[in-house]
Amino acid sequence: MKIERQKIFGREVNDPSAVNITFGVDAPFVPIMGVCMTSILKNNPAQKFTFHVFLDAIDSPDEKKIAKLCAQFPATQIILYFLPPDLYNELYLEGDYTKAIFYRIVAADFLSQSLKKLLYMDSDMICLKPLDELINLPVEKFFVAAVADPGIVNTPIHKNNFGFSNEYLYFNSGLMYLNLERWRDEKVSAQMLNIMSLREYPFPDQDAINLVADLNDYPVKYLPDKFNHFFRINGVEQPMRDDVVIQHFTGQLKPWFQWCESPLKKLYDSYQEISPWRDFVYQPRNYQEHRLMGRACRQKGEWLEALKWYWSYLKRRRIEKKNKHA
């Protein structure tokens, strides 16, 4: 497997002092990633960054906005790595996941051998403070640094169903500081792909990397949850804290949804407003979201818009349920 092509934005020089961060996205999620990048750059003005983005397609307007982001923060470099569209077609996927969740797996294999450490971040995050404490960790002493997951994955029912040892502390893969040398030496990508080819997992790539760590007894550095603070846990919104460095918008409700009523939506909007994606408006993707959009319009008194979305909801529900049972 090869990278089909790559494109570099911003500074051309690969600066060894830069912090390397990677994302894996599909085309519709590029604006969300762009807001995340903006928040990192805004809160770390003295730091150079190289962002490595793995994807299989991008819309032309978003390419132009990536160029604008690099112009806005001149110490920034963004490299797009285009993967084959049919990559991972054979792997199991459940729910609303897309193949983009697998792109983080191969990042280490395609990046320069000179890179010794890499910060992976989910796109549905924003950075609220400097990252110095995180990026100065001695990564060579462990396999990965991450935050223990506070959800169902650390309960006996998940561990027993999917082959984890009872004492293993499962981490959330939304933010991972990776020891790339160990990752390559241990052929972690191949181990993960083999695990995911055997059966379905509710959290495919996350279950796989945790199984690799558990089965091989790899050393994990568990970080305080200020580096991956969950927005919602088991459907309940979590109170914001002053020490949070990285806010992770976990759960199905996202702050870029027009129907989101969380106080944190204003915080998210403040970073979108200073990004090149300030004009981005999320469009509902499935019938549930069409219904929620209709409700949001109704609550604002936009009755014609509400009727349009409710009608669309009814049509899409029939089609999506029919396709699901086909």
Query: What was the pLDDT predicted at 178?
Result: 95
pLDDT digits (tens, 9 = 90+) for 281-301: 988 878 888 888 888 888 888
* pTM: predicted TM-score of the whole model, two decimal places: 0.91
DSSP state of 143: S
pLDDT at 62: 97
User: What parts of the chain have a pLDDT lower than 50?
Assistant: none
CA distance 82 to 77: 16
Query: Residue 320: its pLDDT value, please?
Result: 78
Q: Which residue is associated with the tokens 């009814």? A: 314
- DSSP one-letter string for 6-18: EEEEE--S--TTS
Residue type, 223: L
CB 287 within 8 Å of CB 273: no
What pLDDT is recorded for position 94? 61
Question: In terms of Cα–Cα distance, which of 142, 145, 146, 164 is closest to 154?
Answer: 164
**28-63 b/e (C-beta count within 10 Å ≥ 16 → b):** ebbbbbbbbbbbbbbbbeebbbbbbbbbbebeeebe
How much of the chain is in helix, strand and coil states, percent to nearest 5? Answer: 40, 20, 40
Q: How much is the pLDDT for 234? A: 82
Q: Contact, 18 vs 50, CB < 8 A?
A: yes
| Side-chain-facing half-sphere of 3: CA atoms under 13 Å | 18
Query: HSE (CB half, 13 Å, CA atoms) of 273?
Result: 6
Considering the domain 5-230, what is its CATH architecture?
Alpha-Beta Complex (3.90)
